[in-house]
Amino acid sequence: MHTLTPELLTRAQFAPFGDVIDRRDVSPLVINGGRTQRYDDLAVIDLLGQDFRPRISLFLSKPVALPLEINALERHPLGSQAFMPLHSERFLVVVAPAGGAVDLSTVRAFITDGHQGVNYRAGTWHAVHAVLDQEGEFLVIDRAGPGANCDEQQVSLTVAL
Amino acid sequence: MHTLTPELLTRAQFAPFGDVIDRRDVSPLVINGGRTQRYDDLAVIDLLGQDFRPRISLFLSKPVALPLEINALERHPLGSQAFMPLHSERFLVVVAPAGGAVDLSTVRAFITDGHQGVNYRAGTWHAVHAVLDQEGEFLVIDRAGPGANCDEQQVSLTVAL
C-alpha cells in the first residue's frame, strides 16, 4: 500500500493539476462605487468535445477521516471541474498528472485551508470529493454534454497524517 | 421616489429574471459510493456574442443597510451572471425584466435566506451587488470576452422594509 502525507495546498504546488481558487494573493478591481472588490478569472474552465455547456451544481458530502484509503482515481478528459466550499470547509485533494495511466509515484495529496477552492484541469486524475471535519457543501462548475467524460483507474493508496 | 418592499426570494417569483441556486427543492443524484449528493444544473449560463468564455471570480463586498437608495440598474446583454454566497450571506436582489428600458412599475426586490444564490439571465436589469448584515464573499460565474456587455440606466428607487 502506497502511503501519502498531505501537504498544505498552494497555488504553485497545484499548478500542474489546475487552479487554486483563492483571492488572498490576487489584486482586485474596485467596482460598484467602492463597495466591491472583484478578483477576476481565478480558474480556467476547460470545455472540450462537442455540444458542451458549462454547468453549475451543488455537492453535499459526508466527511472523511484520515487515514483514508483510496481505491480509485478518476479523470474528466473533456472538461475541468471546479469545487468551491460554501461554508469554509477544508477538504482533501488527491491528484496525479494528466496523461497516460496513473503512476503512483506522481500522486500528490493536499489539504485546503477553508479559503480555497480547486479547479481540476481537464484530464487531471483525482480522487472523489473528500471533505474533512464536517458535512460539506460545495458549488461545482464543470462540463455537461455528450461524450465519454469519466475514466476511472483502480489504485491502492492511503493518505495519512 | 419609487419605494419597494423586498419579498423573500423564491424560485417561482424569480423565474422571469433568472435562476435561484438552491438545492433544497431539488432531487439529488447519489454518487461517490454514497458519500455525495449531487444537485445538478441549477443555473443556465448564457454566453452570447463571440470569443466568449465562462469566468469564475470572487467578489468581496461591504454590506448595505435598508432603507437603501438605488440610483441605477445595469444589465449584461451578452451573458448571465451568477452569485453564490460563500458564508451563508443574505443579500438583496433588485431586478427588472430584460427588454427595453426599465419600467419602474416592473422592478422587484427580493431578499435571500443565506442558502440561496442567484443567476441573472442575460439582459436582466439588476442593481449592483448588495450584501446584507456583514461583509460578503461570493463566487461569481459570468462571461468574459469582447463586446459591450454592460448597460446602465439611471433610476430613482428606495428599498425599505
Q: Please state which of the four CATH numbers 3.40.50.1000, 3.40.1670.10, 2.60.120.480, 1.10.3720.10 is assigned to the domain occupying B2-159.
A: 2.60.120.480
Q: Would the pLDDT of A114 be above 90?
A: yes
Q: Looking at CA atoms only, how far is residue B96 from chain A in angstroms?
A: 19
A78-99 mean pLDDT: 98
Domain ranges of chain B: 2-159
In sequence order, what are the residues at sequence separation of 6 or more whose Cβ sits closer than 8 angstroms to the Cβ of residue A2? A104, A107, A155, A156, A157, A158
Q: How many residues can be counted in chain A?
A: 161
In sequence order, what are the residues at sequence separation of 6 or more whose Cβ sits closer than 8 angstroms to the Cβ of residue A66? A6, A92, A132, A159, A160, A161
- In angstroms, what CA-CA distances link B161 with B3, B25, B126? 10, 27, 19
Cell of A94: 488527491
Residue B51: CB atoms within 10 A of its CB come to: 8
**Residue reference for cell 474552465:** A45
How high is the pLDDT of residue B86?
Answer: 98
Determine the 3-state secondary structure of B53 from DSSP: strand
Q: What is the pLDDT along chain B (161 residues), one digit of tens a residue?
A: 799 999 999 999 999 999 999 999 999 999 999 999 999 999 999 999 999 999 999 999 999 999 999 999 999 999 999 999 999 999 999 999 999 999 999 999 999 999 999 999 999 999 999 999 999 999 999 999 999 999 999 999 999 99
Cβ burial of A154 (10 Å; 0-12, 13-18, 19+) is: exposed
**Residue reference for cell 460563500:** B86
B92 at A interface, C-beta within 8 A: no
- In angstroms, what CA-CA distances link A12 with A8, A9, A25? 11, 9, 12
How high is the pLDDT of residue A49?
Answer: 96
Interface test with B, best of A59, A91, A129 (most B CBs within 10 A): A59
How high is the pLDDT of residue B78?
Answer: 98
Report yes or no: A22 and B59 within 8 Å, Cβ to Cβ.
no
Please name the member of A59, A137, A139 whose beta carbon is closest to the beta carbon of B139.
Answer: A139
Q: What is the pLDDT of residues B91-133, one digit of tens each?
A: 999 999 999 999 999 999 999 999 999 999 999 999 999 999 9
B114 at A interface, C-beta within 8 A: no
Residues of B in contact with A94 (CB under 8 A): none
How high is the pLDDT of residue B1?
Answer: 79
Under DSSP, the state recorded for B115 is: S
Report yes or no: B158 and B70 within 8 Å, Cβ to Cβ.
yes
Please name the member of A39, A45, A82 whose beta carbon is closest to the beta carbon of B58.
Answer: A39
Please name the member of B36, B40, B84 whose beta carbon is closest to the beta carbon of A61.
Answer: B36
Q: What is the pLDDT of residues A119-151, one digit of tens each?
A: 999 999 999 999 999 999 999 999 999 999 999
Mean pLDDT of chain A: 97
B121 at A interface, C-beta within 8 A: no
How high is the pLDDT of residue A74?
Answer: 98
Q: Which helix (H) or strand (E) holds B118?
A: strand B117-120
How high is the pLDDT of residue A1?
Answer: 79
A73 at B interface, C-beta within 8 A: no
Q: Looking at CA atoms only, how far is residue A37 from chain B in angstroms?
A: 5
Nearest-angstrom CA–CA distance, B97 and B126: 9
